[in-house]
Amino acid sequence: MRQLQKENGVLVVLEIGAGAGANFKFFPDGSKVLALEPNIHCVKYLQESASAASHVQLLDIIDGSIEDISAEVKDGSVDAVVGTYVLCSVNNTEAALNEIKRVLKPNGKYYFVEHVRDDYYNSWTHISQRLMHPIMKFFAGCDCAKNTWTFIERAGFKELNYHRMTVPNGYALFLRPHIYGYAAK
């Protein structure tokens, strides 16, 4: 993100699923942040995190989902979109990725970390994902077995760079497969 900031002077970041604002401390100095969060109970914590991270400016807290923020965020208005464990819980992944592309400036980047489906169908991880899927969907709105990487690959970004990893033991078995990376518009 620092490279985007150097190119554009000011860095405007849209964080989708901002939660309590835990990522604010990692944003470059002078970042201007739009925080998209559907849980109204997080607003107080977002404001506290923004106050604690004095190097960033919280422009707005947007109540909603990434599938349609056309009323709140203009086309080509942000330098970077950050999403941490978001696409597992959106209802329409294609619409979410289209909105991300729509709000990004040319050459803007979408940075992501997502837990994903395990590719090995007979593994304990995949079996646990199939067993936990209905429970996670009901209680957390999360599809713990989504093949998120295929949605990102098909979204039509001009550049895509991501890596797969397995989070070490100590993390819930069904949530261990991850991807992280960026996509450029």
Whether the CB-CB separation of 90 and 65 falls below 8 Å is answered with yes
Burial group, residue 102, by CB count within 10 angstroms (0-12, 13-18, 19+): middle
| pLDDT range class, residue 4, cuts 50, 70, 90 | low
Whether the per-residue pLDDT at 94 is higher than 90: the answer is yes
Model confidence at 100: pLDDT above 70: yes
Is residue 62 predicted with pLDDT exceeding 90?
Answer: yes
**Each residue's pLDDT tens digit, 119-171:** 877 788 788 888 888 888 888 888 888 889 999 999 999 999 999 988 887 66
Instruction: Indicate the SS3 state at residue 157.
Output: coil
Identify the helix (H) or strand (E) that includes residue 150.
Answer: helix 148-154
Q: Tell me, rounded to whole angstroms, the distance of Cα 60 from its chain centroid.
A: 17
pLDDT bucket at 6, cuts 50 / 70 / 90: low
Mean confidence (pLDDT) of the chain: 89
Domains of the chain: 2-184 (3.40.50.150)
